[in-house]
């Protein structure tokens, strides 16, 4: 399973990259705004900086919602760096744009997926990734993990190469559940990823090992 970090914060991206387990980054306009990145030039510069930090898979979202605008923005984003994956919203014009990008060999991430039918359409159009937002479904008392399971079944039924990128992850248990269900990728905040490290028995066990080692060495 690939691990992406869901942030535009450079320090957090570097920390995850230094951990040696990072496969990519997902951003969106809200995450860019959170870092105070605004204006086309700053946004472009920020994407370039992120590409310099990580090995591949930097999702950069188009702002346009019409086909021509998405194609223009997406082609410009893809030209920035081969690591860029053009992130396109799940709307009618977005499906057309995904089909267009697919034909041009430009990788896409279809975002804001909340139903299996939406994921099926995006896969049919040739999306590289689909991003079901499981946390936001959980937030409205709908089972986000069930959606991951349904999409996995559909993609496997037909051998769609589109990868399931589980997004809107809220914590470490979401990550483990996605792994059990066969998601190809998770994108999560740094805190959810590093929470996977933690177990109190690991901490107490290590403390005992180190204390016993010191005692045996007469320290």
- Closest to ligand G3P by CB, 146 vs 204, is 146
Nearest one of 140, 123, 138 to 169, comparing CA atoms: 138
- Closest to ligand G3P by CB, 6 vs 150, is 6
Q: How far is the CB of 210 from ligand G3P (least distance, A)?
A: 38
Q: Number of helices and strands (H, E) in the chain?
A: 11, 8
Beta strands (DSSP E) in the chain are: 2-6, 24-26, 58-61, 84-89, 108-113, 129-132, 163-166, 185-188
Residues in a beta bridge with 31: none
10 is written with which tokens? 């450079």
27 is written with which tokens? 């951003």
Alpha-carbon dihedral sign for residues 17, 205, 172, 185: positive
**Greatest alpha-carbon span in the chain:** 74
Catalytic residue among 34, 87, 99, 104: 87
- Closest to ligand G3P by CB, 116 vs 186, is 186
Q: How far is the CB of 167 from ligand G3P (least distance, A)?
A: 4
- Closest to ligand G3P by CB, 47 vs 133, is 133
In the residue annotation, 96 being an active-site residue is answered as: no
> By the criterion CB under 6 A, which residues form the site for ligand G3P?
6, 26, 28, 133, 135-136, 167-168, 187
Residues in a beta bridge with 191: none
144 contacts 167 by C-beta, under 8 angstroms? no
Active-site residue list: 87
């Amino acid at each position: 399973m690939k691990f992406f970090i869901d942030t535009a914060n450079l320090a957090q991206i570097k920390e995850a990259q230094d951990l040696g387990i990072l496969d990519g980054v997902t951003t969106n306009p809200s995450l860019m705004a959170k870092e105070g990145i605004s204006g086309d030039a700053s946004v472009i510069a920020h994407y370039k900086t992120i590409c310099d930090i990580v090995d591949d898979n930097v999702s950069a979202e188009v702002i346009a919602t019409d086909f021509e605008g998405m194609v223009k923005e997406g082609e410009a984003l893809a030209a920035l760096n081969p690591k860029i994956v053009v992130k396109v919203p799940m709307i009618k014009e977005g499906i057309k744009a995904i089909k267009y990008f697919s034909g041009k060999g430009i990788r896409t991430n279809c975002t804001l997926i909340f139903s299996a039918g939406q994921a099926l359409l995006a896969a049919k159009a040739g999306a590289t990734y689909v991003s079901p937002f499981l946390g936001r479904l959980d937030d409205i008392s709908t089972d986000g993990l069930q959606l991951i399971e349904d999409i996995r079944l559909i993609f496997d039924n037909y051998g769609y190469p589109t990868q399931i990128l589980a997004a809107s992850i809220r914590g470490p248990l979401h990550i483990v559940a996605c792994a059990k269900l066969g998601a190809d990728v998770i994108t999560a905040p740094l805190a959810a990823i590093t929470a996977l490290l933690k177990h109190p028995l690991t901490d107490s066990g290590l403390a005992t090992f180190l204390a016993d080692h010191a005692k045996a060495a007469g320290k």
